[in-house]
Structure 1
Amino acid sequence: MLRTVLLTLSLASGLQVCPTPSSANPATDRLIIEHVTVLSMAPGAAPMADATVFIADGRITRVAQGEALSPGDKVTRIDGRGRYLLPGFADMHVHVLNRGYGRDYGGSVFEPDYMRTGDLMLPFLANGVTQILEMSAMPETLAQASEIESGAVLGPHVATAAMVDGEPPVWALNARTATTPEAGRQAVREIAAAGYDFVKVYARLSLPVFEAVVEEAQLEGLGVVGHAPAGSRNQADAVLRSGLSMLAHIEELPKLGGSMDSDVDSYGALARGRDISIATTLTTDAWIARQTRDPTSVERVQGIEYLHPLLVWQWTHANRYTAATSPELVQARDDLVVFTQRAFARLNEDGVRLLPGTDSIVSGVAYGFSLHDELSLMVSAGMTPRQALESATRRSAEFLGVSTDRGTVEAGKRADLVLLDADPLADIANTRAIAGVIVGGRYLTRVELDARMADLAERYRGLALPAGLSGEDDATP
């Protein structure tokens, strides 16, 4: 049931198309950002002080130092003095709520204004996130991505990963199932035909089916992301050499062999040289541990007022992480936090590609806001601020195969940019100091973003939950 799907929260959701005609307009004006420090995130590029960035038709047309041009008609000049311009951020592991998950509720969940696309996506944009990887994509996700790309609504680019699992699937609502290699291949062919970008493998696939899925995905030109398959312990080489593109979590590594206590140093060797990426999800582990210790902590999450009331209800009334706790469980979840941070440090030292993913929808992990938490944890665990920023921009774009289009501040690239009031290279916490966001060449000032967010919070306060919700989860995981 939906209540379990949302509440379990380590995997959920997609996106639903709802018209929001007032939320997006074509980027017709030209922009000039003057006297700004450009952090291009291109390989080896040093910060460019006192730069001028020219934008037209949604693209960066020129980046020059100490240069200004006479503005023509319809030019918006942005004062960049004391500010820093860098590419928009990517969150490489999200699950965004959508009406597809309302099938068990019915009624108001299906009304067009109940879950509006622009509303669901606004917290990402307000936090400078202009690219997401949806890790449990459904047909609604594809429609949502298309609507954003068409310019009908404002939102981040949405890359899509559709799930394949064994029987019974962990998430019946949005997973194709396969118990034989041929069934796995057929599931991949369906995913490719539907237009998804990636296949997501999940935990109940057998190893032979997993290998068939990966092989078929390669034939179809799709990347494969996700979890270690069932029965893969001590099969690290088979899994990591299979062609898997990205592990969904650092904590997947112990499932391939070894122990969280004694084998942290071995995981870099396992992953190094396999051309595999890992989504970090450090903030998810931290929030699971925090709410196990203090069940009320989710009520104080930064940005909770901008989340859909149905999701907030799940966090506060039907949350499996707070439903039952004990000193032993608190310790186990604290131990997992320590492990993932230690493993992160070693993987980073060994040159494994680590990409920021939040697993947002997990209770405590708010859309958009959590990306800044993730970047801070990545730096605390051993990355430099520049490494973390490169991971959230250029390296994520490279993984998604869109680096010729975006991910750096260079001429010809799409104008998906973040303007900061403070230097994130000096302190990664400065990624929160957002003065404005440019998405597809459209400039959203901090004032406009704040006004949009305030309006969203006000409307969410007045949004009624579906009839019949209780304070208890009535399903089992």
Structure 2
Amino acid sequence: MPGLQNWRAISLTVTVLLTANFAASAQDVLIRDAKVFDVTSGDVRTLDVLAEDGRFTKIEESIEAAPEGVKVIDADGKALLPGLIDVHTHWTGMNGATRASIAVDLLEAGVTTATDFHSSPEAFEDMRAYHAGIVSPHVFYAARMSVPYGHGTAWTDERVTKTVFSAREADAAVEDILAFKPDAIKVFADGWRYGSGANLSSINLDAFSAIVGVAHEAGLPVFSHTVTVEGGKQAARAGVDGIVHALQDRTADEELVELMTENGVYYSPTLTVYEPFEDEMAEMGPAKAAIVMRRQQFSRANMSAFLDAGVKVAMGTDQGIDNNPFGEADLREMELMVDFGLTPSEALTAATLHSAELLGLSDDRGSIEVGKRADFILVAGEPWKDISELRSLDRVFLDGREVVADAKLSVDQGAVMPDARPAGRMIDDFENDALTSTGACRGYDVDRNHPRSRLVRNTVERIEGGMALHVSADLTLKEDPFAFVVLPLSPAGFLPVDAARFDGVRLDVRGQGPIKMKIGGGPSEAESAFETTKNWKTVELPFEGFAGEPEAGPVDLAALHWLSIGRHDEPGTDFWFELDNVEFYKSAE
């Protein structure tokens, strides 16, 4: 991993700063009589383990006297292992989940470090601050990159997934992303998603290599969404650090195996997201079910080939996607890795040391060694013999602090959502080419799945003076196409704002027919419609005039995240409008 030493130093400094609030209440702890699993060798020894100031300070056969103030726990022969590390997690709102609830689910499964493959880089700073105030695994933030019409682009905009085609575009895009201090780059390289067929664009080698080159120069590891053998070859040639899906379109050939071993590419097959279930197979019908089972056969064969060649396996789940449940996915992934050919000891090493190596964190965590971060778990069993005994997890320690006892969170969790900050009056006057008046990147929201409607937005000069936003949209040929420009009320809309003291939203607007404004807070959104003509006019939209879906509940004006402006219309049509001075207003003022 070229350049990762410099990156590790930066990452560790940031991690220490972000966990300062949590670590301040940490309790130094001495664990007596634990069966300590050495992930570097597979050996098991009964030892005493002392953690002070969040780090392992002594690991000995017997520590006679506990230092003053140290909490002493008799493990009574329980297994002591490093905390699990998941290198492929999507922190989504799946089934009503929040970042706080996901954190609990992961910790209760023994996961002490997890990636975030689902967030906008402009929100990383606010997310890091939020996680420092709750009980959470360490979060490792990856910025997403793809190609036009590629995987990862079918539901979001370039605030979340940057798209590039050429090497020059790739260089510039990664440089832009670096301003948000990501921990890694994830590239959606294959136009295949889960091996069912090639239906999206794939990246070319020039652009792929450029992404890896700039990222490695900055000290960032690069992960590849790749599910095909040819895609795996291209990822290895480009120099990625890890492939984070199973390769499953055909049997791996000698060339792929050699490329992966020669370039030190880690393999994280996310087996849980592909696991076939009887009820799902029945719903698919025999033809599609046969494709799924053939894909599984290739996946098994390829895992065997990689293991025989010495390719290092890391643990990732793709949890948060396709109802792949948080926390449970990690325990199931471990079982499936053993089912696919790893020994239980090898699976434990994959989920700890190898995952830490892939993230560039093995100097800091991933094994039970003096000087390393005291992220560890106690298990009532011997999972190096039977991997399912990981399910008998008893306690979890994060930076030396016990956070799970009797398999349940044992400390108070922080806020479900970040605290709302007072909303300012001005939302966007469009005097800045790129950012709203709230400091957020403007975005767009269009219909899901390719082909998608297209929305173009540019700031333009008004005859009256100052700048406005010109928006034009071409609606695609599908049922209910739509296009909206999005004005987040904080970077990526992560931090809510309290607009309850205002009566509504006011804006200057001109355009072509009916337009809607939507506002969103929590799980709910509401909308209000108005007419536009080619002449400028000022429109006031009182909050009481916004309506949403009754089952979703009312929008919380004290916790708004975004507003958007646009419309649904007939397939194949187009429209335009221009905006200025979008602001909250009070009727009495």
TM-score (normalised: structure 1): 0.73
- Residue 182 (structure 1) aligned to one of 155, 164, 168: 168
Candidates 100, 124, 127, aligned match of 2:106 = 124
Higher mean alpha-carbon deviation, 262-271 vs 374-383, is at 262-271
CA distance in 1, matches of 2:177, 2:551: 36
Q: Displacement, 1:390?
A: 0.7
What is the DSSP-based 3-state SS (H/G/I as helix, E as strand, rest coil) of the residue aligned with 1:161? strand
Secondary structure in structure 2 of the residue aligned to 1:194: coil
Amino acid across the alignment from 1:246: G
- What does 1:4-403 align with in structure 2 at a 5 Å threshold? 26-41=24-39, 43-44=40-41, 46-49=43-46, 51-73=47-69, 75-97=70-92, 116-138=98-120, 139-148=122-131, 150=132, 152-170=133-151, 171=153, 172-173=156-157, 174-202=160-188, 203=190, 204=201, 205-228=203-226, 238-251=234-247, 254=249, 260=250, 263=252, 267-287=256-276, 290=278, 292-293=280-281, 325-403=284-362
CA distance change for structure 1 residues 235 and 415 in 2, over 3 Å: closer, same or farther?
Answer: closer
Q: In structure 1, what residue type is equivalent to 2:115? A: L
Paired position in structure 1 for 2:506: none
Q: Does the CA-based 8 Å contact 1:34-1:52 persist in structure 2?
A: yes
Is the 1:225–1:244 Cα contact (8 Å) retained in structure 2? yes
Q: Offset of 1:470 from its aligned partner? A: 9.2
Conserved in 1, the CA contact under 8 Å of 2:261 and 2:311? yes
CA–CA distance in structure 2, aligned partners of residues 123 and 141 of structure 1: 21
SS at match of 1:196: coil
Matches of 2:245 and 2:328 in 1, distance apart? Answer: 19
Query: What is the rounded CA distance, in whole Å, between the counterparts of 2:268 and 2:258 in structure 1?
Result: 17
* Partners of 2:297 and 2:125 in 1: CA distance: 37
User: Is the contact between residue 420 and residue 435 of structure 1 (CA under 8 Å) also seen in structure 2?
Assistant: yes
Please report the RMSD computed on the Cα atoms of aligned residues, expressed in angstroms. Answer: 3.3
1:98-153 deviation line (CA, Å, top 9, x unaligned)? 6xx9xxxxxxx9xxxx87532221100011001112223323345323443x4x21
Q: Distance in 2 between matches of 1:62 and 1:329?
A: 55
Preserved contact between residue 242 and residue 358 of structure 2 (Cα < 8 Å): no
For 2:243, give the aligned amino acid: L
Q: Check whether the contact 1:192–1:222 (CA below 8 A) recurs between aligned residues.
A: no
Contact map agreement 1:267 1:343 (CA 8 A) in 2: no
Q: Distance in 2 between matches of 1:263 and 1:30?
A: 48
Q: CA deviation at 1:30?
A: 1.9
Change (3 A) 1:432 1:469: farther
Q: Letter of the 2:168 partner, please give it.
A: E
Amino acid corresponding to residue 181 of structure 1 in structure 2: A
523, 541, 549: which is aligned to 1:468?
549
Q: State the AA in 2 paired with 1:226.
A: S
Aligned-partner Cα distance in 2 for 1:469–1:282: 39
Within 1, Cα distance between the matches of 2:312 and 2:550?
A: 42
AA matched with 1:140 = A
The answer as to whether partners of 1:33 and 1:52 remain within 8 angstroms in 2 is yes
TM-score, with structure 2 as normaliser: 0.60
Look up the match of 1:314: none
Question: How far apart, CA to CA, are the structure 2 residues paired with 1:454 and 1:182?
Answer: 45
Higher RCO (C-alpha 8 Å, min separation 6): 1
> In the superposition, relative to structure 1, how do residues 120 and 140 fare at CA in structure 2: closer, same or farther (>3 Å)?
farther
Distance 1:266 1:80 in 2: 48
After superposition, the C-alpha distances for 1:34-77 in whole angstroms (9 at most, x for unaligned) are 11111132x2362111x11111211111111033314523x221
| Contact 1:123/1:453, CA 8 A, preserved across alignment | no
Tell me, which stretches of 5 or more residues in structure 2 are unaligned? Answer: 1-20, 191-200, 417-521, 525-547, 553-567, 569-589
State the one-letter code of the partner of 2:102: L
- Deviation per residue, 1:378-437 (Å, 9 max, x gap): 111111111111111111111211112111111111111000010111101111111100
| Aligned equivalents of 2:409, 2:221: Cα separation in 1 | 37
Secondary structure of 1:52's counterpart equals strand
1:93 is paired with a residue of what secondary structure? coil
**Which ranges of structure 1 fall in alignment gaps of 5 or more residues?**
1-22, 102-108, 255-259, 296-324, 458-463
User: In 2, Cα distance between the equivalents of 1:411 and 1:233?
Assistant: 40
Distance 2:301 2:68 in 1: 54
**Displacement after TM superposition at 1:208 (Å):** 2.6
Distance 1:280 1:36, change over 3 A: same
Q: Is the 8 A contact 1:31 1:54 kept in 2?
A: yes
1:180-213 Cα shifts (integer Å, max 9, x gaps): 2211111110122210122221133333322222
Residue in 2 that maps onto 1:8: none
**TM superposition shift of 1:290:** 4.7
Q: Which structure features the higher share of helix residues?
A: 1
Change (3 A) 1:415 1:209: same
Deviations 1:143-174 (A, max 9, x none): 323443x4x21111111221111113542332
Secondary structure of the corresponding residue to residue 94 of structure 1: coil
Contact map agreement 2:252 2:305 (CA 8 A) in 1 = no
Q: Percent identity?
A: 24
Q: Distance in 1 between matches of 2:414 and 2:230?
A: 52
Instruction: Give the whole-Å Cα distance in 1 for the aligned partners of 2:298 and 2:375.
Output: 35
Alpha-carbon separation, structure 1, partners of 2:549 and 2:234: 47
Q: State the aligned residue count.
A: 387
Q: 1:271 to 1:70 in 2, by over 3 A?
A: closer
**3-state SS of 1:38 partner:** strand
- 2 CA distance for matches of 1:158 and 1:455? 16
Q: Does the CA contact (< 8 Å) of 1:282 and 1:337 recur in 2? A: no
* CA apart distance, 1:26: 2.9
Rg larger in structure:
2
Deviation of the 1:32 alpha carbon: 1.1
**Does the CA-based 8 Å contact 2:226-2:245 persist in structure 1?**
no
Distance in 1 of aligned mates of 2:549 and 2:349: 46
Give the one of 367, 370, 374 matched to 1:415: 374
Q: Is residue 93–residue 132 contact of structure 1 (8 Å, CA) maintained in 2? A: yes
